[in-house]
Structure 1
Amino acid sequence: YFFTTECEDLDTKIIQEEITDDCEVLPLWEGKIKAQVKALE
């Protein structure tokens, strides 16, 4: 799953961070969890 998060290291302020560990804390975007599911090809 990919989650929208803010990145200060890159020129782009918004990135899609891939999270694969079910125990990892999910990043927040504007106080919400915003996820994107991508189909396997």
Structure 2
Amino acid sequence: MIEFKKLTKSYDSKTKVVDQLDLVIKDGELVVLIGET
């Protein structure tokens, strides 16, 4: 199992691409995050 709590990701100091993500991925599950490019 993988668990994220309040995950925030940014590519610079101003642009957050993920903000406060809570996510649990159980064994055998496949998860894909898709966003703008």
Structure showing greater Rg: 2
Q: TM-score, normalised by structure 1?
A: 0.26
Superposition TM-score, scaled by structure 2 size: 0.27
More strand by share: 2
Larger RCO (alpha carbons 8 Å, 6+ apart):
1
